[in-house]
Amino acid sequence: MTDLERLYHRLVQQLAATDPARLHRPLPLDEIVHSLVPYRANRRALGVDTSEEYELVLMRLCAGEGGLVRTEPEEARARFAEELGSANPDLAALHSFESVLVTLRPEPLAAALESADAELEPEAPALPEAAPLPEPPALPEIPGLEALAELDDEVEHDPDPETIPEPESETRCAYCGGRLPTGRAVKFCPHCGQNQTILVCPECRSEIEPGWKHCVNCGHAVSEA
């Protein structure tokens, strides 16, 4: 992009961002110089190092170079073109007219706006294709593994815990601690001969515990009961 195109695109971008309706209206040259695209705020974007370089590019734009704009009055445009044709252009000619109007031509304007839209919406870079994952290494064969699997199928599984009959709880003599027979009524201990039925006091017939020597109700001796 040339320095003239940079100035033109900068002017178009500024108007599109602040007041798009003015893109199609005449613009005072003084406003372009002092507020729309001033030198100090745009010199880096325009690629110019001095104000003289900036005014020279501006004069080329107003002289009609590249057919980007239409300048009024015509005598101002002719004067700018005349100065550019000389060996040493007089840049003061830019300020020798009371009112110079610059209108953006439709075709270059449409192209500039299209280019600005393309810059605002850059294409997303194509993502590199992911490298295929390596295949996992084959597991080594274990000798006899198939035989172990077949043997496991033949082994009888443990029976269901619910089907295993619970062992009958042990009953022991309250006197000697000997184990009493299960599955039948036991009235006397087969080891010590003590009565295994409920003991009662021979005096008041109150229930007594094995090993008591006296009734807790009447105090009667029950050691021999």
Q: Which of 30, 88, 39 is nearest to 62 (CA)?
A: 30
Which pLDDT score is estimated for 160?
Answer: 59
13 and 110, same domain (yes or no): yes
Which pLDDT score is estimated for 210?
Answer: 75
* Number of folded domains that form the chain: 2
Alpha helices in 63-144 (DSSP H): 74-84, 106-120
Which pLDDT score is estimated for 120?
Answer: 44
Which pLDDT score is estimated for 15?
Answer: 95
Which pLDDT score is estimated for 121?
Answer: 46
- Evaluate whether residue 189 is within a structural domain: yes
Per-residue pLDDT tens for 35-59? 999 999 999 999 999 999 999 999 9
| pTM, 2 dp | 0.52
8 and 113, same domain (yes or no): yes
Domain with 201, as residue range(s), is 172-225
- Evaluate whether residue 167 is within a structural domain: no
Which pLDDT score is estimated for 122?
Answer: 45
- Evaluate whether residue 200 is within a structural domain: yes
Q: Among 105, 120, 135, where does a domain finish?
A: 120
Which pLDDT score is estimated for 22?
Answer: 95
109 and 201, same domain (yes or no): no
List the chain residues with pLDDT less than 70.
117-131, 138-169, 174, 196, 198, 223-225
13 and 102, same domain (yes or no): yes
46 touches 86 (CB < 8 A): no
72 touches 101 (CB < 8 A): yes
Which pLDDT score is estimated for 186?
Answer: 75
Which pLDDT score is estimated for 123?
Answer: 46
